[in-house]
Amino acid sequence: MNRHYWIRTMATGFCLAGLNASKPVAAHPGMVHSDHPLEQTMERMHRTMAETPVSGDPDRDFAALMMPHHEGAIDMARLQLLHGKDPVLRRLAQEIIIEQQAEIELMRQWLAKPER
């Protein structure tokens, strides 16, 4: 099996694993998923991850694939701040934004270093 395909498939699979815990489609009658802001965010994140080239180097691929994953989490956290009411989840969303922005910057800097 192509190593690049395997790495991308595994990374996407880990991201999708949490979706099984969400409500089934039937729980949202009449809703077109792509019209829901959280669904749009997830679709954008998965599309970006799928389009991210992999090198076969596990360290580089981890950083390259985690960046769009974190960007998706930040987008979702921003939606929580716009629409969410629960103070605990709003505080969590704020923490996610701060922490994952710092992690994205760390990965960007790591990826910008010359090949090892």
> Which pLDDT tens digit goes with each residue over 82-116?
999 999 999 999 999 999 999 999 999 999 998 75
Domain boundaries, position 79: 3-15+33-112
| Domain count within the chain | 1
The answer to whether residue 53 is domain-embedded is yes
Token representation of residue 24: 């089934």
- Coil, helix or strand at residue 78: helix
How much of the chain is helix, strand and coil, in % rounded to 5?
A: 80, 0, 20
Classify residue 20: in a domain, yes or no: no
Residue 95 lies in a domain: yes
Alpha-carbon gap, residue 101 to 71, rounded angstroms: 8
**Residue 21 within any structural domain of the chain:** no
Q: What is the pTM of this model?
A: 0.64
Distances (CA, A) of 90 to 40, 56, 74, 87, 97: 20, 38, 12, 5, 11
Residue 23 lies in a domain: no
Residue 26 inside a domain? The answer is: no
